[in-house]
Amino acid sequence: MKVQDLIKPLNLIVWSGRDNLNRIVTGGYCSDLLSDVMANAYKGSVWVTVQNHQNIVAVASLLDLSAIILANKITPDKETSLKAEQEGIPILCSSLPTFELVGRMYRYGIYGIKS
């Protein structure tokens, strides 16, 4: 599955990185603690968080994550959006609370284990 395949079924808004929606999704990870994501997420994961500052882009780039999804009606600040464009990291936004969004992702076949 690709990042673009998540947009319609999860009702996501593409905020940044539109040119990189063809990235392959290998799984998912959910955390708001950057050090936790750095220790446990893996290449190709889609990261769900409510953090919206520039450091999320740095972590996603370092780990080669496929995308960042901001839950709970959170949107990235301007600097974060610009950094995501520069790094080629898609940022998608959801109006759903984190718990519900992750549940829907799981039902859609995105799991938290390496496949």
Predicted confidence (pLDDT) per residue in 60-69, tens digit: 999 999 999 9
Which domains occur in the chain, in start order?
Answer: 4-107 (3.40.1390.20)
Q: CA–CA separation, 89 vs 83, rounded Å?
A: 8
For residues 31 and 98, the answer to whether their CB atoms sit within 8 Å is no
Dump pLDDT digits (tens) for 53-109: 999 999 999 999 999 999 999 999 999 999 999 999 999 999 999 999 999 999 999
Listed in sequence order, the residues at least 6 apart from 52 whose beta carbon sits closer than 8 Å to its beta carbon are 70, 74, 75, 76, 77, 80
**pTM assigned to the model:** 0.95
